[in-house]
Amino acid sequence: MRVLKCHKGIGPKVSGMVLSANDNFSARYDLDRINGIFSRPNHKLFGKSYVDIILVLNESKGGVGASAWMLYEMIARKMAPKAILFNKANTILAQGASLASLSICDRFEDGDINLFNCFRSKCSC
């Protein structure tokens, strides 16, 4: 087993399947939050479900709180990932994850999420 280190995160400890891609993330523009899938056609995870999955992505996108409030709404409807791990998370999304009690962390020690070399693997965080 290989251990990957990142900055101290927030939220409950979780374990489960990982969905990973070297792509960025916006809850507002990348997701079909009703059906629980990635909906932006040029996203590397297009068509894949994110519900009850640990997402590993490059950077968070979004501002003015829209993505942050959407995380809260996704948790409330039980259509959310278990956790989101980023190379770089912005403060707005981190605040939204905190509000929603969604586990989140960022800043992988070597900055390479490609170490998750397949789309699905098992993870505890």
Structure pTM? 0.87
Which phi and psi angles does 55 have, rounded to 5°?
A: -90, 135
**111 compared with 24, residue with greater pLDDT:** 24
DSSP string, the chain: ------S--BS---EEEEEE-SS-B-TTTSEETTTTEE--TTSTTTT-B-TT-EEEEEEB---TTHHHHHHHHHHHTT-S-SEEEEEE--HHHHHHHHHHT-EEE---TT--GGGS-SSEEEEE-
Residue 123 has pLDDT above 80, yes or no: no
| % of the chain with per-residue pLDDT over 70 | 83
Second-level CATH architecture of 15-124: 3-Layer(bba) Sandwich (3.50)
pLDDT digits (tens, 9 = 90+) for 43-88: 999 999 999 999 999 999 876 678 888 999 999 999 999 999 999 9
Mean pLDDT of the chain: 86
Q: What are the domain boundaries of the chain?
A: 15-124
Torsion (CA) 1, 13, 34, 24 in degrees, nearest 10: -60
> Is there a contact between 72 and 35 (Cβ–Cβ < 8 Å)?
no
